[in-house]
Structure 1
């Protein structure tokens, strides 16, 4: 999904795109986020789901969900962040408090992360991840959880390079109305701010 490498919590280094940015999503961003999510999810689940199920990953369906969420955001630190190239939304990250039953207080969750295939390898993924960590830290989180498809080697490699690591947890997530499941593994990171030097 994303393939640019930085370490969690380190400031994003400027990439080759002077107009690249990350911001909190607006309701009007829902169609662009829906398009990116449908594209990324179809790619990520291609080896896991049959074609007829992949076809249900429609931009309009994702757009409707994001539009409702952005119009009436849940209470707390839930945020949808978007990566932009100029004015165009090319990636997104969704964060909130962890819903894992074994999560300690102060654990944040990166529930979704994706960058459009045509906008990869220029730093959007790293900027999104760093912004997600900064936002969660600002809300008092000191730990980060995220679930990744076991077969999604690209995203897992990106997150491992960024400083996350597997903690041994896994789950089989139902991902279609027919009951198809996909194995996910959990990656975690300590996001406690480093004390100032000196």
Structure 2
């Protein structure tokens, strides 16, 4: 991902949230998401430097960004350090089921393993059956991690998945 991809990535992310999380988060929150605000946050992040965070994009044949993934070191303190975390993986909603997400996940997994991380972890909304099936088909398993956060006063439970990369 380059800085010139930020607007397209923000659109994929926001539209992805609005599609994937309908019924799982308050609709008023989803309706209030702004591609412009998301892009501004990403520009600020880019301006500070990416550090250990890697952003990947998938493009169609015309060079348009149609998917995005982001990974780096595992952030929570509930486990010993040393693992990687898939922070985000989104595909334009009109292209779900076309293999773009799988290609992004495969490239993410390859790059994470290349960096020597033994595990790749991620968080999924508990009620997001489509995403859970996607990650389970890719070999991820729930590992008992669970947490709930609030979105506009509503509880949103998440479960953690883990993929072992190194023997």
Paired residue for 1:92?
68
Query: TM-score w.r.t. structure 2 length?
Result: 0.92
> Does the CA contact (< 8 Å) of 1:115 and 1:124 recur in 2?
yes
Higher RCO (CA < 8 A, seq sep 6+) = 1
The aligned residue for residue 185 of structure 1 is 159
Q: CA deviation at 1:123?
A: 1.4
Structure 1 segment 26-175 matched on structure 2, within 5 A: 26-76=2-52, 78-86=53-61, 87-175=63-151
Structure 1 segments, 4+ long, off by >4 Å, are none
Number of aligned residues: 166
Q: Is the 8 A contact 1:26 1:70 kept in 2?
A: no
Contact 1:27 1:71 (8 Å CA) reproduced: no
Distance 1:74 1:88 in 2: 23
Name the one with the larger helix percent: 2
Deviation at 1:29, TM superposition (A): 0.5
